[in-house]
Amino acid sequence: MKRNLLQVLLAMGLCGYLSSCVTPSTKASLPDFATSLTRQMADKAHLTEGQYDRVRKLHIQQLAEVKRLKKQLAHQPILLQNRLEEVRSQYEWELATILSPEQLASLEPYQNELTAQLVESPNQGIAKNL
């Protein structure tokens, strides 16, 4: 039970981070940004090649969906928040099915730093000092 709670909390933090950085910088395309994010996760959680590919694909999907929703529902903030929460829940579930509990736990110490870097400097797009 404790592991499941830890997984959900970590996934929620990562999802919050992803939704906070909807658009990558002008220098990086969405796939490039997703690759950079996935590399950072791979360094900390020691992802296998298969996990790396699945997480990168998940990041691309998440970033594209959040970007689409924010553009489409810009003038409907309540609906936007509800839809973003659905997207976050789906992301959390999918990430938890890809990574092991140990890998999720290994990302936990970096969660706040990663989120803070991207929330504070959204124009930079990619956190570099993880």
Sign of CA dihedral 116, 83, 36, 103: positive
Q: What is the pLDDT of residue 117?
A: 36
Does this model's pTM top 0.85?
no
pLDDT at 120: 29
Q: 83: pLDDT confidence band, cut at 50, 70 and 90?
A: very high
Look at residue 33 in the predicted model and tell me its pLDDT.
81
86-124 pLDDT per residue, tens: 988 888 789 889 999 999 899 888 765 554 333 222 333
Q: What is the pLDDT of residue 4?
A: 52
The pLDDT tens digits for 10-63 are 555 555 555 444 444 444 688 888 888 889 889 999 999 999 999 999 988 988
> Nearest-5° angle of CA 45, CA 114, CA 64?
90
pLDDT at position 26 is 44
Cα 66 from Cα 101, distance rounded (Å): 26
CA angle 71, 122, 55 (to 5 degrees): 80
Residues in the chain, overall count: 130
- How many Å apart are CA 69 and CA 91, to the nearest integer? 15
